[in-house]
Structure 1
Amino acid sequence: MSNNLQGRVALVTGASSGIGEATAVALGRAGASVVVAARRVDRLAALEERLAGEGVKVLALELDVTDEAACRAAVARTVEAFGGLDVLVNNAGVMLLGDIEGADTTDWTRMVSTNLLGVMFLTHAALPHLLTSRGAVVQVSSTAARVVRAGTGVYNATKAGLNAFSESLRQEVTRRGVRVTVVEPGVVDTELREHITDPAGREAVEQRIADLRQLHPQDVANAVLYAVQQPDHVAVNELLVRPTDQTW
């Protein structure tokens, strides 16, 4: 891709807040037509209005990535609206921390379904179009794919699995012109931690990050933008972005 994303089409999941919202804004401002997808349609509508007001071609889609049929429909709607698909940003995810002993296993199901299967479903649906456009897949992973701690085991497993899936995908498609990038943020100031249902798990992570200058969503969006703006012969396969203060 050239440094100008004019004429390109991007689909961003988890776009109703945080990293997804910031990434959608960054891609739109760089010239791309942007499809913003998430479950919270009220927030999507506000983002759609904001981007349209800046002159960005934008479409908001309600999407639960755990629903494979909905993933296929979202890709089809994107292609119908804008004529193709060049950039897929798999950002939707949940982080439901807590010890394995005594865990509410419905939290596990939510994480595996969203963080792993959702990415697989959407990537699978998008791949024929990305192969046609010689496009890019960006997977928003985490430092949790690399650094395992007590109380974060299933989240670690989903992000490590995402990285493994993405590397296999890269080997399959890179010679056909599709570039695969894994972005691994450290601690980011988003609402992700607010959804932790286990009180001890939530308290532990809050204590761990209390003295950190956290990343902002825009910092991660800048990493995504950097990767997709590289010339066609350059593939940025992995970007690890931590706050300066984060030691793990």
Structure 2
Amino acid sequence: MSTPPTAPATTAPDASLRTVLITGTSSGIGLAAAVAAARAGWRTVATLRDTGRAGALREAAAEAGVEIDIRRLDVVDEESVTAAVEGVIADYGRLDAVVNNAGAGHLGTLELETVADVREVMEVNFFGVLNVSKAALPHLRATGGRLITVTSVGGVIGQPFNEAYCAAKFAVEGYMESLAPVASTLGVTVSVIEPGAVATEFVNNIGLDLDARIAAAGPYAGALRTYIDRTVSQFTEGSAQTPAGAAEAVMEALTADRPAFRIQTSQWARDFTGTKLTDQDGAAVLGMTGTWVA
């Protein structure tokens, strides 16, 4: 089967076809969501910072027998974001949905990293979401569209050695929860997707030499080793969700008549976030996460 095109066809596009732009589609949930959306009949614009890493996406699209328009978009580069969104409008005349999926994992704690490190995490995982959402909103207003953001259960419950990452995801959740009623007055639906552990994400996306990080952790080494052993076991025991499974929640937000604001991707994620959402004084959450490091 031939490789799907990476640019729009030269014939005039169907102006009535719903168009979705998805960020961070080189792997994981973003890749799975792009394929699922294309299968469901959406004109799918799959973006990534480096189009040279689109091989897995091309293969998945070819295997599924769908066409996906692959384009460059770097969420921290406002010019790149504007060019990508304006290119979609120029080529297709409409934008019906955006899925903010691009992000980066991070492992660390305040005494062992710089504040600049934390700012970098916020830049990708929080301000990158804002860059894309701001550029897209005028076009989503025009179509009564949907703004969907993949956050994390770490956007509800703070997790040890994930302070910066969880802070960024908390920020996204708070921002979108605040934006949702405002956007709804203009016909735009806002949702957040909360995955738990997803296969390949923890070690591969963080890109760390974990043993070296533990060796350099000084007084935090014992707690960090305990946390890493506990977290890695989630994957080795086969309890991590597949990207395709998590992408089903994205499709729910994309296609449901009245999608919820907050959608977890699994029963485990629902149970986990439920701990926080019913924990008025914070004791249950800290009692749980304290066992992860001691």
Verify: 1:156 aligned to 2:166, yes or no: yes
Q: Name the amino acid aligned to 2:240.
A: Q
Structure 1's unaligned 5+ residue stretches are: 1-5
1: CA distance between counterparts of 2:62 and 2:231? 39
Q: Which residue of 2 aligns with 1:238?
A: 262
- Identity across aligned pairs (percent)? 33
**Structure 1 equivalent of residue 285 of structure 2:** none
Contact 1:188 1:214 in 2 (8 A): yes
Q: Contact conserved, 1:187 with 1:209, CA < 8 A, in 2?
A: no
Residue 36 (structure 1) shift: 0.9
Q: Which residue of 2 aligns with 1:118?
A: 128
Equivalent position of 1:218 in the other structure: 244
| Paired residues, number | 241
Match of 2:112 in 1: 102
Instruction: Specify the alignment match of 2:103 in structure 1.
Output: 93
Comparing 132-141 and 45-54, the one that deviates more: 45-54
* Contact kept in structure 2, 1:32 and 1:57, CA below 8 Å: no
Deviation at 1:84, TM superposition (A): 1.0
Separation in 2, partners of 1:196, 1:51: 26
Shift of 1:230: 1.3
Q: Deviation of residue 66 (structure 1)?
A: 0.5
* Structure 2 counterpart of 1:3: none
Q: How far 1:69 sits from its partner (Å)? A: 1.3
Q: CA contact under 8 A between 2:46 and 2:70: conserved in structure 1?
A: yes
Preserved contact between residue 94 and residue 192 of structure 1 (Cα < 8 Å)? no
2:230 equivalent to 1:207:
yes
**One-letter identity of the residue aligned with 1:238:** R
Q: Shift of residue 225 of structure 1?
A: 0.5
Which of 52, 61, 66 in structure 2 is aligned with 1:56? 66
TM-score normalized by the length of structure 1: 0.88
CA deviations 1:121-155 (Å, max 9, x no partner) are: 10000000000010101100011111113311111
Q: Is the 8 A contact 1:141 1:183 kept in 2?
A: yes
How far, CA to CA, are the matches of 1:131 and 1:25 in structure 2?
25
The yes-or-no answer on 1:193 pairing with 2:203 is yes
Partner of 1:184: 194
Cα–Cα, structure 1 residues 209 and 54, in superposed 2: closer, same or farther, change >3 Å? closer
Instruction: Give 1:175 shift.
Output: 2.4
Unaligned runs of 5+ in 2: 1-15, 215-223, 273-287, 289-294
Alignment of 1:137 with 2:137, yes or no, is: no
SS at match of 2:54: helix
Question: Pairwise CA RMSD of aligned residues?
Answer: 2.4
| Equivalent-residue separation in structure 1 for 2:76 and 2:229 (angstroms) | 28
8 Å CA contact 2:100, 2:149 repeated in 1 = yes
Change over 3 Å in CA distance of 1:187–1:40 after alignment to 2: same
Question: For 1:164-193, what per-residue CA distance to the aligned partner results, in whole angstroms no more than 9, with x for missing partners?
Answer: 111122111112211111001111113353
Whichever structure has more helix as a proportion of its residues is 2
* Aligned residue in 1 for 2:255: 229
* Corresponding residue SS for 1:92: coil
Shift of 1:55: 5.2
Is the 2:249–2:264 Cα contact (8 Å) retained in structure 1?
A: no
Q: Which amino acid aligns with 2:262?
A: E
Pick one of 137, 155, 162 that aligns with 1:127: 137
